[in-house]
């Protein structure tokens, strides 16, 4: 039995401690946006946020995750409204789309850490996510665009008096 | 969330189509109606009774709320068909893009072309170009006619725009309001199509319809599809190609917690469990003794010997002028030997399929490129599933494909799921591990090539002789087909092996090619751009060698030999201009060029490379493409980038080695993928041409390997003739 904190909800699942988080998400919690790609932490398709850090869910057991806050693609925003998702739409990033949940989650984590990343920052941080359709140019553009949108949102919030 | 974006929504629960060449299927329920058009009205056997709203031949459905649903009969694997095909309908129908949605077609004889429902050969837009525009135009004509009758006005005084019919006085009726009346009209024949000058959607980069679902994790791929309570199967297959099960002991597998059944099937032994982790643990525990077949010691060296041993034998697939006579006068100036390895497809989504046998029918949820082919040996997913499950017929729900690249034109994963489902209770999802996927692929064939040439006094080639050997994809895919195809081609060539070389465009008075087919147990298949993956490299490297021998600039040399090929020339000129071909590249870098026609499109590429510590690095790529009429420029550009990255990955890293009869590489740690930190900046130039649409999914791939090899030659003086590219 494991108790997990996924997308802001506490969920209890009947699996052994050694069960990989990826398959708990997919098969027990029906959160299908997180994908299986390689099973050895090489491709990034299964990336989720664990306490805000991008991690490979195929390489994490439920015991290792414990009560950490897990965010999957489904928890990034309610209806695709996160700046990274909006930028992904503006730049029309996805092709087959299979790696994109992992790419977006990695990009969200990147922008939390480096709000205005350079191309070199993007290349370094995003190199753990493989895209077989080769949309890398579009990912670079979209991350820069998302950074702008986050900045614009901050400025606009400040203009309206900012957060309480 | 749209129905199409959610994945497998099946518009066809049944048939019920009158036999006319161009027919309205439509019809009405409380919810709306369907205007359908069909060109081939063979009803599939065993389809359930008609539910008219979901008529199988419909490409187009209009709901009372005015929403437009296009039934897409090609598989979406990233190449953009679920946008481009609706764009063709929407253009002629005169609707706003925001009104348009799509669903994937069921496997049915009304769909596809040439008797097959298959996505391959970069043919989707080319083959849909006429029929889908006609579907939209016919529906528009009927909607306008319905409005004309309602208003008592002549139809030719009425305009259509943004999903409505508008009268001269400004009053309007939406298509939703007119749909029911339009469905009662006779279907006209030969409705005229728009003058391309008046296109409002074709030629525009309208947003892809699949993107919103793909940024929120809601897009349903094969691995996500089907009943949520499907049990999972992981299959043990003989690691040696051509091997079979001698015996197995299920007890250790059945002892694994969560494992429920162990089922022998034709490809191996399936372990069925409640989840993937349990099924895989059961498969790992399973004890199987394999019969490793006739060639358990096969390795790269033996394969290379076999291929080289038959060079020059086989069929002559090109014979212009008299190569023998020309070479008897004087010997060749240049002889070169090239080799290319097996390649895996490595789609991001590993192979999988879900199947359920109920009431004598099999239902499959499949990320497949090949739904239906009733008359082809083996058939499509529908025929394979029915056969494997031991039932009369099957329904196929096509999901989004997490990459295809030709791998998903195979039916092996469908067969496995249906076969297991035929033997157990309830729905079954077969999931391949990445290792399964990489070690049981249908690989791009390894090939060897020997070429010789002699130059004339002007430096242009007088003789070009090409001897090639490889396995044949075509013969493997459809056993017994090759003689027929050979007859079709007047004994000339096996296009999946020799396309691009047997018909290369360079002017040579004495040109010959021989192709020797070798039988080996390694499975071979269609890999993005098929024959062009090797012939593009060989021909474009060799012509570069000839340019060097002639002391000519490689761009100018090609141009001179392509006098009769204006579309080749146009893309060469465009890419040379974009790259600034004549300008000196930055310090420590060099450029190479290549041009390949494939799948009806012409693509030239320039690569800019450097090398450090013996490792090549590609910094920039320029690409010029003439794919005829462009339906969606941004998708064309994206496909060129995609094809370049795919081809570059193979050129730099791609290699499946064979040792002890099996594939050596197993996952992304030893079959490397190009990552974002290695990805070049790519600039794509569209070269306008009014020709009919060509393909775009594959043609970006062939020129990149030779462009990079040619750039490395310019940089280092080393001519690399074996892939993957390694500097000595």
- Do B676 and A127 make contact, defined as CB atoms within 8 angstroms? yes
In sequence order, the 6+-apart residues with CB closer than 8 A to the CB of B21 are B39, B189
pLDDT over 90 for what percent of chain B? 81
Please tell me what DSSP assigns to residue B524: B
Which has the minimum average pLDDT: A148-152, B6-10, B157-161, B583-587?
B6-10
User: What is residue B376's predicted lDDT score, i.e. its pLDDT?
Assistant: 81
User: What is residue B58's predicted lDDT score, i.e. its pLDDT?
Assistant: 61
- Do B348 and A43 make contact, defined as CB atoms within 8 angstroms? yes
Which 68-97 residues of chain A touch chain B by CB within 8 A? 72-74, 76-77, 79-80, 85, 88-89, 92-97
Residue-range domains of chain B with CATH: 3-215 (3.30.365.10), 222-293+351-431 (3.30.365.10), 301-342+443-716 (3.30.365.10)
- Report the C-alpha gap between A33 and B607 in whole angstroms: 36
- Do A42 and B675 make contact, defined as CB atoms within 8 angstroms? no
Structural contact between residues B37 and B138, judged by C-beta atoms closer than 8 angstroms: yes
The whole-number average pLDDT for the span A30-58 is 98
Smallest CA–CA distance from B347 into chain A, residue: A132
- Do B80 and A43 make contact, defined as CB atoms within 8 angstroms? no
SS3 B33: strand
- Do A101 and B208 make contact, defined as CB atoms within 8 angstroms? no
- How deeply is B354 buried, as exposed, middle or buried, from its count of CB atoms within 10 A (0-12, 13-18, 19+)? buried
Smallest CA–CA distance from A84 into chain B, residue: B215
The answer, yes or no, to whether residue A152 has pLDDT greater than 80, is yes
SS3 B335: strand
| CA of B453 vs chain A CAs: smallest distance (Å) | 37
User: What is residue A160's predicted lDDT score, i.e. its pLDDT?
Assistant: 56
- Do B346 and A93 make contact, defined as CB atoms within 8 angstroms? no
The answer, yes or no, to whether residue B42 has pLDDT greater than 70, is no
User: What is residue B258's predicted lDDT score, i.e. its pLDDT?
Assistant: 97
Residue-range domains of chain A with CATH: 2-76 (3.10.20.30), 83-159 (1.10.150.120)
- Do B224 and A32 make contact, defined as CB atoms within 8 angstroms? yes
The answer, yes or no, to whether residue B663 has pLDDT greater than 50, is yes
List chain A residues with CB under 8 Å of B401: 96
- Do A23 and B675 make contact, defined as CB atoms within 8 angstroms? no
If you search the block for the tokens 């420029």, which residue do you land on?
B633
For B561, the token pair is 């030999």
Which has the minimum average pLDDT: B2-6, B228-232, B403-407, B513-517?
B2-6
The answer, yes or no, to whether residue B84 has pLDDT greater than 90, is yes
Which 29-48 residues of chain A touch chain B by CB within 8 A? 30-40, 42-43, 45
The whole-number average pLDDT for the span A48-52 is 98
Peptide bond into B3 cis (omega under 30): no
Smallest CA–CA distance from A26 into chain B, residue: B224
List chain B residues with CB under 8 Å of A124: 677
Secondary structure element (H or E) that encloses residue B62, with its range: strand B60-62
Q: What is the pTM of this model?
A: 0.93
E-assigned strand segments in B346-460: 352-358, 361-366, 370-372, 393-398, 428-431, 447-455
Model confidence at B53, in pLDDT bands (50, 70, 90)? Answer: very low
Q: 3-state SS of B453-511?
A: EEECCCCCEEEEEEEEEECCHHHHHCCCHHHHHHHHCCCCCCHHHHCCCCCCCCCCCEE
Residue B229's alpha-carbon distances to B259, B261, B270, in angstroms, are 15, 16, 18
- Do B638 and A138 make contact, defined as CB atoms within 8 angstroms? yes
Half-sphere exposure of B473 toward its Cβ, with a 13 Å CA cutoff?
Answer: 28
- Report the C-alpha gap between B193 and B195 in whole angstroms: 7
Which of A100, A126, A130 is opposite residue B215, by nearest beta carbon? A100
SS3 A151: helix
The mean pLDDT value of chain B amounts to 90
List chain B residues with CB under 8 Å of A74: 216-217
Half-sphere exposure of A29 toward its Cβ, with a 13 Å CA cutoff?
Answer: 27
């Amino acid at each position: 039995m494991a108790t997990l904190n996924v997308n802001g909800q506490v969920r209890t699942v009947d699996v052994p401690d050694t069960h990989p988080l990826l398959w708990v998400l997919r098969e027990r919690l029906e959160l299908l946006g997180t994908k299986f790609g390689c099973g050895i932490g090489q491709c990034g398709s299964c990336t989720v946020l664990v306490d805000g850090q991008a991690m490979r869910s195929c390489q994490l057991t439920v015991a290792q995750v414990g009560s950490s806050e897990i965010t999957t693609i489904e928890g990034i925003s309610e209806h695709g409204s996160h700046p990274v998702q909006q930028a992904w739409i503006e730049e029309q990033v996805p092709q087959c789309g299979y790696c994109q949940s992992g790419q977006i989650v990695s990009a969200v984590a990147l922008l939390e850490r480096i709000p205005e990343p350079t191309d070199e920052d993007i290349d370094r941080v995003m190199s753990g996510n493989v895209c077989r359709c080769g949309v890398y140019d579009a990912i670079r553009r979209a991350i820069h665009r998302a950074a702008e949108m986050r900045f614009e949102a901050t400025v606009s919030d400040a203009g309206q008096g900012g957060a309480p | 969330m749209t129905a199409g974006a959610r994945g497998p929504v099946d518009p066809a629960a049944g048939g019920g189509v009158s036999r006319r060449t161009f027919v309205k299927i439509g019809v009405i329920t409380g919810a709306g109606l369907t205007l359908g058009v069909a060109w081939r009205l063979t009803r599939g056997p065993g389809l359930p009774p008609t539910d008219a709203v979901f008529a199988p031949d419909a490409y187009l459905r209009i709901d009372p709320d005015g929403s437009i649903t296009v039934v897409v009969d090609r598989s979406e694997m990233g190449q953009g068909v679920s946008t481009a095909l609706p764009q063709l309908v929407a253009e002629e129908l005169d609707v706003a893009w925001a009104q348009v949605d799509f669903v994937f077609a069921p496997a049915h004889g009304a769909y596809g072309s040439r008797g097959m429902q298959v996505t391959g050969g970069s043919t989707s837009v080319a083959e849909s170009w006429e029929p889908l525009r006609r579907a939209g135009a016919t529906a528009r004509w009927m909607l306008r006619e319905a409005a004309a009758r309602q208003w008592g006005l002549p139809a030719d005084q009425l305009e259509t725009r943004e999903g409505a019919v508008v009268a001269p006085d400004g009053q309007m009726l939406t298509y939703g309001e007119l749909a029911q009346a339009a469905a009662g009209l006779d279907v006209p024949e030969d409705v005229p199509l728009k003058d391309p000058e008046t296109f409002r959607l074709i030629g525009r980069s309208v947003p892809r319809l699949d993107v919103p679902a793909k940024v929120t994790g809601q897009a349903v791929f094969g691995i996500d599809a089907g009943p949520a309570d499907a049990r999972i199967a992981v299959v043990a297959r003989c690691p040696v190609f051509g091997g079979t099960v001698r015996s197995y002991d299920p007890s250790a597998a059945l002892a694994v917690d969560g494992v429920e059944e162990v089922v022998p099937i034709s490809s191996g032994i399936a372990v069925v469990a409640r989840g993937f982790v349990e099924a895989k643990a059961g498969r790992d525990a399973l004890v199987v003794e394999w019969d490793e077949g006739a060639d358990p010691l096969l390795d790269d060296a033996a394969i290379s010997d076999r291929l080289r041993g038959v060079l020059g034998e086989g069929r002559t697939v090109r014979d212009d002028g008299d190569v023998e006579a020309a070479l008897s006068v004087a010997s060749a100036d240049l002889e070169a030997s090239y080799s290319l390895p097996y390649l895996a497809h490595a789609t991001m989504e590993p192979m999988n399929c879900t199947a359920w046998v109920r009431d004598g029918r099999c239902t499959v949820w499949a990320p497949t490129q090949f739904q239906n082919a009733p008359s082809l040996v083996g058939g499509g997913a529908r025929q394979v599933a029915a056969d494997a499950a031991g039932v009369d017929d099957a329904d196929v729900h096509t999901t989004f494909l997490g990459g295809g690249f030709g791998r998903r034109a195979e039916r092996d994963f469908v067969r496995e799921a249906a076969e297991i489902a035929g033997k157990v209770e309830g729905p079954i999802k077969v999931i391949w591990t990445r290792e399964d996927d990489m070690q049981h692929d249908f690989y791009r064939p390894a090939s060897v090539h020997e070429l010789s040439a002699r130059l004339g006094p002007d430096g242009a080639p007088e003789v070009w002789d090409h001897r090639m050997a490889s396995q044949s994809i075509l013969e493997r895919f459809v056993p017994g087909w090759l003689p027929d195809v050979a007859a079709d081609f007047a004994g000339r060539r096996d296009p999946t092996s020799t396309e691009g070389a047997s018909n290369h465009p360079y002017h040579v008075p004495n040109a010959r090619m021989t192709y020797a087919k070798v039988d080996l147990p390694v499975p071979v298949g269609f890999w993005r751009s098929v024959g062009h993956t090797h012939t593009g490299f060989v021909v474009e490297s060799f012509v570069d060698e000839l340019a060097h021998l002639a002391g000519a600039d490689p761009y100018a040399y090609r141009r001179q030999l392509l006098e009769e090929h204006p579309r080749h020339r146009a893309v060469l000129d465009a890419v040379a201009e974009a790259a600034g071909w004549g300008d000196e590249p930055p310090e420590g870098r060099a450029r190479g060029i290549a041009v390949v026609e494939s799948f009806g499109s012409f693509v030239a590429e320039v690569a800019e490379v450097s090398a450090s510590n013996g490792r090549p690095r590609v910094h920039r790529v320029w690409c010029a493409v003439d794919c005829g009429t462009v339906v969606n420029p941004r998708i064309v550009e994206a496909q060129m980038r995609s094809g370049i990255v795919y081809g570059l990955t193979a050129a730099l890293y791609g290699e499946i080695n064979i040792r002890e009869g099996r594939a050596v590489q197993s996952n992304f740690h030893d079959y490397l993928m190009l990552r974002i930190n290695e990805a070049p900046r790519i600039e794509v130039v569209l070269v306008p041409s009014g020709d009919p649409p060509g393909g775009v999914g594959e043609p970006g791939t062939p020129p990149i390997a030779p462009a990079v090899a040619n750039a490395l030659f310019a940089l280092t003086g080393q001519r690399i003739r074996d892939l993957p590219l390694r500097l000595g």
